[in-house]
Amino acid sequence: MHTTQDPHALPDGTIETDALIIGAGPVGLFQVFELGLLEIKAHVVDSLPCPGGQCIELYPDKPIYDIPALPVCSGRELTERLLKQIEPMGAVFHLGQEVTQVRRPDEKTNDRFFVETSQGTRFHAKTIFVAGGVGSFQPRALKLDGLDKHHDTQVFYRVKDAARFAGQRLLVVGGGDAALDWALHFAQPGPNRAASVVLLHRRDSFTAAPASVAKMKALCDAGEMQFIVGQATGIEQEWGRLTGIEVTGSDAQTHVLPLDALLVFFGLSPKLGPIADWGLALERKQVVVNTATFETNVPGIFAVGDVNTYPGKKKLILSGFHEAALAAFGAAAHVFPDKPVHLQYTTTSSRLHKLLGVASPTLD
Ligand SMILES: Cc1cc2nc3c(=O)[nH]c(=O)nc-3n(C[C@H](O)[C@H](O)[C@H](O)COP(=O)(O)OP(=O)(O)OC[C@H]3O[C@@H](n4cnc5c(N)ncnc54)[C@H](O)[C@@H]3O)c2cc1C
């Protein structure tokens, strides 16, 4: 998605907001909705390039059976439905950037927190919602001496622009869905077809969908791509360019695979990361909250979803949704300190209908 120019940005580009949500997983997304019902607009930051958190990164096509009133839906469908539901609330998303700094209000920021992301986006936020789940997802790196310096020129952990690999000699490493999907994508006829595709995995069994594995084997039989069981153990370079990867096979023999680009898909590992440095009380790497408002030990900072802990906590999407509702009411006391906030039903409140952009039913 996008980063949109904000009309509330200060002259130096800092964005003023009533609420900043850190994490666009299912709970961060529903937080947008609950804040919206209380007329609090939110900005949302996520380190991933698209919203959905674990539902999209870890199990987009697996069925979920315990979302109330949705007997079954996939991780992707849940995310799409949440995005549709929060559309009227007009949240602004800042994706592909990690929140690195959160500072308490000082004289300069008045009554607002100062927040900065890895891309240098800055906010002054009245309230903060940490919906960081199990942390920000980072790709697991392939660790070979000298490989790092080719990152983003010849070594990639994500495919942002598939067209740039067309006509290249590709080495794809990994045995999960991402590795198989991209190997198949580049090996098959189409505008992005590579000159050659080699899939390298340390064993002959995969966590990817069986249909993708079958397709990969068929393409290997047809000579359209190659699959090698082995491990990358070193690199070859010439004039500062990566020219090949040393691969040690199951027979303990090492040979060099020449390449133009290396695509590594070892999965994502969650890291609590900078959240641990913001002065929030933690218990076993989780943020301690009170269960009346889901506020942390820092007034104005709330924590919802998998990232928080309290007696009886269960890491379920459903629990996160409940937490988001109460946290929104907790935040309203900070954003509108002089205004009483009443609970209203979406069924009957014409004010909420206006916020949701739906027509109020006429009373018979
Ligand atoms: C395989 C699997 C199956 C599951 N099945 C179910 C099920 O059937 N039912 C159920 O209720 N639950 C299920 N769960 C659990 C459920 O997915 C989680 O409870 C839910 O995703 C938590 O949502 P969340 O929004 O709190 O966090 P997450 O989904 O983890 O999202 C957090 C987001 O915050 C971002 N983030 C973190 N730190 C930062 C930072 N500093 N800056 C920017 N972004 C940051 C991350 O990138 C991530 O996108 C399952 C989990 C797994 C792994």
Q: What is the pLDDT along the chain (364 residues), one digit of tens a residue?
A: 444 445 567 777 899 999 999 999 999 999 999 999 999 999 999 988 899 999 998 788 788 999 999 999 999 999 999 999 999 999 999 999 999 999 988 766 667 999 999 999 999 999 999 999 988 777 899 999 999 999 999 999 988 788 999 999 999 999 998 899 999 999 999 999 999 999 999 999 999 989 999 999 999 999 999 999 999 999 999 999 999 999 999 889 999 999 999 999 998 777 788 888 899 999 988 999 999 999 999 999 999 999 999 999 999 999 999 999 999 999 999 999 998 888 999 999 999 999 999 987 665 5
Beta bridge partners of 95: 46
* CA-134 nearest atom, ligand 1: 30
Give the mutation target among 54, 99, 275, 323 for probing the ligand 1 site: most ligand atoms within 8 A of CB.
54
What atom of ligand 1 comes closest to residue 45's alpha carbon? 43
Q: Atom 5, ligand 1: which residue's CA is nearest?
A: 64
Q: Give residue 300 CA to ligand 1 midpoint distance, Å.
A: 23
Ligand 1 site, CB within 6 A: 22-28, 45-48, 53-55, 58-59, 64, 66, 98-99, 131-137, 273-275, 305-306, 315-318, 320
How deeply is 186 buried, as exposed, middle or buried, from its count of CB atoms within 10 A (0-12, 13-18, 19+)? buried
Query: Which residue bears the tokens 């697996």?
Result: 62
In 3D, which of 154, 181, 189 has the Cα closest to residue 263? 154
Q: Output the CA–CA distances (angstroms, integers) from residue 323 to 36, 146, 210, 250, in the order listed.
A: 15, 46, 38, 50
Task: Confirm if 129 and 17 have CB atoms less than 8 A apart.
Answer: no
Quick one: which atom of ligand 1 is closest to the CA of 272? 38
